[in-house]
Structure 1
């Protein structure tokens, strides 16, 4: 019996698989190859000059690469119209999902929404978002927080929304606390001249909504309490561009008086980022606004490193306060962040306890195989309708 066809449409921003893309493309790259057998699945993405027009992920899932920019939507619709998939999952571009549904009314079309960004101004107002989402056959979000937010704005969509938390590949991350891992970590620290330093890490884009300024504003407190502290800021404002950003300059200004205690590492591709998690004693996730999920949380947990995070958005669904990390109320983040980090830096048994619990939680609840199995079940259900 011929398999039913399932299309996964990426946002069209980054060529995949590349390692230098947003978390949305990473979800596709990591999840789709793990989907159980049952569909003839193709991924549709953007073309990059000098690269193959048709490729694959892991040599298994075909990737069809189409013209980008203003031509991307029409190219996707043309390709899908020729292939006629039964189900189409459009990643984080709800307007494109709506256009595809109009062009392929017999296909079941889902919008996977990774944040509120593309259903909020300046992209669209609430009324427009409702018109875009209403014709779709399903909406997939990555946290209960995001489901509640979308439902609050569009109550009529409640029954269309499914929650599918994201995941991590445990084998990509070296967990702390076993003798061989600690010996390797010490060797890495010696190579960098950081032996004896206690490491606090931030990983992600350097944007105001990520709250990196809260961590750097706590530097005076951190340095007084933990004189050997080293704060690693791993990331850039943009995924692929090194162009300057005012907020990045502001962060460097905050760090200027403490250059012996701060190191900025530009954007690191996945899975090379695991090197830096392995050095960390604590990972800070000081998100200043509603973070829908935050892959950095599960990556830190996979590395058996405790997280100190705000309670923004879906973070409390991932990091269990007092069990796999410390979760702080967003309004008091600026006042409490430093003290929480210092507490962990000065208490190795607690770091070990929270870190090992985080690794176990990631293994039990946040692996890509689990995300893929839920996605497969949802697509099968839609395909049968």
Structure 2
């Protein structure tokens, strides 16, 4: 039996495969090679100098690379018309999905929405966003939060939306709290001169919406009650770029009086991020409203590290309050974040319990193989409609 052709179109912002890519490209390169048998899948992505136009990922999935910028969409459409896939999944670019549907009307076109960014101003007003989303055959989102947001904004689309949560590759993350792991961690801490330090970690982009300033605001109280605390801030404003922003400068200003207690680590490529999770006692995710999913939550939990997070967006779908971490109301982060961090830093048994429960939850519900299996099922159903 001939396999069904399926194209997966990335935004064209980052080269694949690349540890320096955004979360959208990472979703594709982690999920698609794990999709069960049944589809002949081709990925479209950005071309870069000194790399072949056609590459491959694990499992033999072909990656077709095209010039970026204004030529990206037209190049993809030409290739799709020639290849004639039955399914086209366009990742996080709904306007491109609509354009492809117009150009390749016989295909089933899906738009996978990773956040509200590209269906909100300045990218799209309400009317245009609704028109674009109406034009495609299916909308896939990564959280129930996004599903509800789209349903409220565009009630006519409710029956078009499916939810497919994201995941991790569990073996990539070393879990805390077993003898071998703890010995390895102590060796890493010794190498860095951080032995005896209790480490609170933030990982992600340095953007106001991510709430990094809340952690630095809590730092004086943390130091007062936990003098050996170290705040580890891993990330940059942009993926793989050293450009500075006024917000990043503000964070450094907040940290200036406490340099013995704060370490900034610039952008870390994805294969290397597990090193830093392994050092953490707590991972803090103080995001503002609009955080659709937050891969950092499942990555921390995969490392058996408890998460202290805001209750923003889709985070409560991942972090179980009092079971795998602590959820705090966004409005009370400035008053409640420090006391909760102090409580956890002072109770190793609680950290262990939350962390181990988080690892188990990820193993059961948030692995890339789960995401890939759901994608496979969704696409098969769509073909039959």
Q: TM-score w.r.t. structure 1 length?
A: 0.99
Q: Offset of 1:241 from its aligned partner?
A: 1.4
Does the aligned pair in 2 maintain the 1:197–1:228 contact within 8 Å? yes
What SS does the aligned partner of 1:69 have? coil
Q: Offset of 1:60 from its aligned partner?
A: 1.2
Aligned residues: 385
Match in the other structure for 1:261: 261
Q: Take 1:254 and 1:289, find their aligned partners in 2: how far apart are those partners?
A: 23
Q: Offset of 1:59 from its aligned partner?
A: 5.1
What SS does the aligned partner of 2:152 have? helix
Match in the other structure for 1:57: 57
Q: Offset of 1:271 from its aligned partner?
A: 1.6
> 1:266-285 counterparts in 2 under 5 A?
266-285=266-285
What SS does the aligned partner of 1:55 have? strand
> 1:172-211 counterparts in 2 under 5 A?
172-211=172-211
Backbone CA RMSD of aligned residues: 0.6
Match in the other structure for 1:8: 8
Match in the other structure for 1:364: 364
Match in the other structure for 1:294: 294
Match in the other structure for 1:170: 170
1:94 aligned onto 2:86: no
Match in the other structure for 1:67: 67
Match in the other structure for 2:225: 225
Q: Offset of 1:240 from its aligned partner?
A: 2.1
Q: Take 2:30 and 2:164, find their aligned partners in 1: how far apart are those partners?
A: 14
Does the aligned pair in 1 maintain the 2:33–2:59 contact within 8 Å? no
Runs of 4+ that moved beyond 3 A: none
Bigger mean CA offset, 212-221 vs 51-60: 51-60
What SS does the aligned partner of 2:270 have? coil
What SS does the aligned partner of 2:205 have? coil
Tell me the alpha carbon deviations over residues 86-108 of structure 1, each in whole angstroms, 9 at most, x when there is no partner.
Answer: 00000000000000000011000
What SS does the aligned partner of 2:168 have? coil
What SS does the aligned partner of 2:194 have? coil
Tell me the alpha carbon deviations over residues 39-77 of structure 1, each in whole angstroms, 9 at most, x when there is no partner.
Answer: 000000110112111101115110000010111111111
1:122 aligned onto 2:131: no
Q: Take 1:6 and 1:339, find their aligned partners in 2: how far apart are those partners?
A: 50
What SS does the aligned partner of 2:70 have? helix
Q: Take 2:338 and 2:169, find their aligned partners in 1: how far apart are those partners?
A: 30
What SS does the aligned partner of 1:272 have? helix
Does the aligned pair in 2 maintain the 1:210–1:289 contact within 8 Å? no
Match in the other structure for 1:318: 318
Q: Take 1:141 and 1:314, find their aligned partners in 2: how far apart are those partners?
A: 11
Q: Take 2:384 and 2:229, find their aligned partners in 1: how far apart are those partners?
A: 56
What SS does the aligned partner of 1:40 have? strand
What SS does the aligned partner of 2:293 have? coil
What SS does the aligned partner of 2:271 have? coil
Does the aligned pair in 1 maintain the 2:54–2:65 contact within 8 Å? yes
Does the aligned pair in 2 maintain the 1:44–1:65 contact within 8 Å? yes
Tell me the alpha carbon deviations over residues 360-382 of structure 1, each in whole angstroms, 9 at most, x when there is no partner.
Answer: 00000101111000000000111
Q: Offset of 1:289 from its aligned partner?
A: 2.3
